[in-house]
Amino acid sequence: MAVSAEGARRKERVLCLFDVDGTLTPARQKIDPEVAAFLQKLRSRVQIGVVGGSDYSKIAEQLGEGDEVIEKFDYVFAENGTVQYKHGRLLSKQTIQNHLGEELLQDLINFCLHYMALLRLPKKRGTFIEFRNGMLNISPIGRSCTLEERIEFSELDKKEKIREKFVEALKTEFAGKGLRFSRGGMISFDVFPEGWDKRYCLDSLGQDSFDTIHFFGNETSPVSVAQPRCFPPQFTPRSRPGHRATELSLGRLPETSQCSSAPLHRLEGWG
């Protein structure tokens, strides 16, 4: 079927950008086949991309098999966008060690190890610090915990604010060092240089002259407006004032996590 001039322009000038954990999938779980099919249907109308805090291998594991993820999405931004893929090709990769320097990096790692050594939790497993290209991921229980242990820690964390207190200690110890801290998911938080949050991908997207960028994530707090027809009630997209919804009429998306949307360049503090 022929694509109208308006449709072709929209395909090139509109981007729908999705968070991964808690949005397209439950935390660290594989995408539902119905959601994956919906995204490919959406891709026939606009460009689509994902941005996540995890490294590329974890994103690929959740959203596809092997390297097929970079073929299914026009843009893949791993590690908050410090590792960038566009149309199946690696664009750029930044490293935290080059940005911070070895001395500060070791001070940070040593502080975290000492802090966690003094923590008494119901359970501790392994991989307490995961070193990624663009960040350190810190997990008091350890990333190798089971799903049941992950849920148990998450419930304890809600009551005792384990991660929140950890982050406050880091903010005090490393004040003025150019570091940012972001709690997300169930068991960990990220440490990265200032400016290396998920808005980092704007450096790449700014060169592509999109008319509209819709972001969908589970931890944004924009103001509610009318819902565009292409996104079903389960998604509950919302937007800040001035956001123009793109009506694609693609039908119902299978049940998934509640999301919000807003113009990416106007979001503040989304992680």
Per-chain mean pLDDT for the chain: 81
In the predicted model, what is the mean pLDDT of residues 203-229?
66
- pLDDT, position 189: 96
Q: According to the annotation, is 116 in a ligand binding site?
A: no
Q: Is 19 among the annotated ligand-binding positions?
A: yes
Residues 6+ apart with CB under 8 A from 47: 11, 12, 14, 15, 16, 74, 75, 210
Give the residue extent of every domain in the chain.
5-94+198-266, 96-193
Q: Residue 228: what pLDDT?
A: 35
C-alpha 145/C-alpha 156 separation (Å) is 15
What mean pLDDT do residues 82-107 have? Answer: 95
Mean local confidence (pLDDT), 97-120: 98
What three-state secondary structure class fits 81? helix
C-alpha to C-alpha distances, 152 to 20, 104, 138, 148, 186, nearest whole angstrom? 22, 33, 17, 6, 10
Query: Helix 162-173 vs helix 147-160: angle between axes, to the nearest 10 degrees?
Result: 70
pLDDT digits (tens, 9 = 90+) for 144-166: 999 999 999 999 999 999 999 99
203 tagged catalytic: no
User: What is the distance between the alpha carbons of residues 223 and 209, in angstroms, rounded to a whole number?
Assistant: 25
Predicted confidence (pLDDT) per residue in 31-87, tens digit: 999 999 999 999 999 999 999 988 899 999 999 876 789 999 999 999 989 999 999
pTM exceeds cut of 0.75: no
Quote the pLDDT of residue 135.
Answer: 93
- Identify the band that residue 140 occupies on the pLDDT scale cut at 50, 70 and 90: very high
Does 132 count as an annotated binding residue?
yes
> What is the structure's pLDDT at 68?
83
Least confident stretch, 120-134, 167-181, 207-221: 207-221
Q: Please tell me whether 28 is known to bind a ligand.
A: yes
43 is in an annotated binding site: no
Q: Tell me whether domains 5-94+198-266 and 96-193 share a fold.
A: no
Query: Is 240 marked as binding a ligand?
Result: no
User: Does the annotation count 55 as an active-site position?
Assistant: no
User: 5-94+198-266 maps to which CATH number?
Assistant: 3.40.50.1000
Report which of 175, 220, 216, 168 is spatially closest to residue 189, judged by C-alpha positions.
168
Residue 70, H or E segment? helix 69-72
> In the CATH scheme, what architecture does the domain 96-193 have?
2-Layer Sandwich (3.30)
pLDDT tier at 112 (50, 70, 90 boundaries)? very high
The predicted model gives 13-19 an average pLDDT of 92
What per-residue confidence (pLDDT) applies to 66? 66
Contact 157, 127 (CB under 8 A): no
In the predicted model, what is the mean pLDDT of residues 221-233? 36
